[in-house]
């Protein structure tokens, strides 16, 4: 009986120390699109804690036969959804034709426990009547 209690205590100890998955939501719940991108989509998303800081990896997929430029930034949030850092500047990325590309970033503060990706594709700017795109 004492042996079973020790095993149970060990299992509980390791279970309590195991990392909790940071992403239980869908990709669409973590991405705020600034317009409707026709060609480049967020197709993968992973996050984990590294040394107390939240690390995020975003997979983008370009379905067009031409390279496409996108812009992205992260809103860093605490576990209640409150923004814990100033708005980041927009970061550009060029996604090659018919390709996938991973983008990685790290939270600037250990207070960040969640995030929201703000995403915009350059093609969204050409939705003005009379444009060639």
Burial class (CB in 10 A: 0-12, 13-18, 19+), 79: exposed
In a domain, 45, yes or no: yes
Query: Pick the residue with more confidence: 133 or 83?
Result: 83
Average pLDDT over residues 23-38: 85
Residue 46, strand partner residues: 57
Structure tokens that stand for 16 in this block:
């309590």
How far apart (Å, rounded) are the C-alpha atoms in residues 85 and 76? 6
Domain assignment present for residue 130? The answer is no
- 95-131 residue pLDDT tens: 999 999 999 999 999 999 999 999 998 876 554 344 4
Domain count across the chain: 1
DSSP code for 80: T
Within-domain flag for 72:
yes
Q: Does residue 133 register a pLDDT over 50?
A: no
Share of the chain above pLDDT 90, in %: 67
Domain that holds residue 94: 21-124
Is residue 50 in some structural domain? yes
Evaluate whether residue 11 is within a structural domain.
no
Alpha-carbon torsion 65, 98, 120, 36, what sign?
Answer: positive
> Residue 37 maps to which CATH number?
2.60.40.3230
Residue 107 covered by a domain: yes
5 inside domain: no
pTM of whole model > 0.85? no
- Residue 122 neighbours by CB under 8 Å, 6+ apart: 68, 69, 70, 71
Q: Is 100 domain-assigned? A: yes
């Amino acid at each position: 009986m004492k042996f079973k209690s020790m095993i149970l205590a060990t299992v509980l100890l390791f279970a309590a120390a195991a990392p909790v998955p940071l992403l239980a939501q869908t990709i669409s719940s973590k991405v705020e699109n600034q317009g409707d991108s026709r060609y480049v989509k967020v197709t993968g998303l992973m996050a984990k804690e590294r040394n107390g800081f939240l690390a995020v990896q975003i997979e983008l997929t370009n379905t067009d036969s031409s390279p496409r430029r996108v812009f992205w930034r992260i809103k860093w949030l605490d576990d209640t959804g409150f923004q814990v850092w100033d708005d980041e500047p927009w970061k550009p990325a060029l996604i090659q034709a018919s390709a996938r590309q991973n983008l990685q970033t790290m939270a600037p503060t250990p207070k960040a426990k969640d995030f929201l990706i703000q995403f915009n594709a350059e093609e969204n700017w050409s939705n003005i009547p009379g444009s060639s795109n």
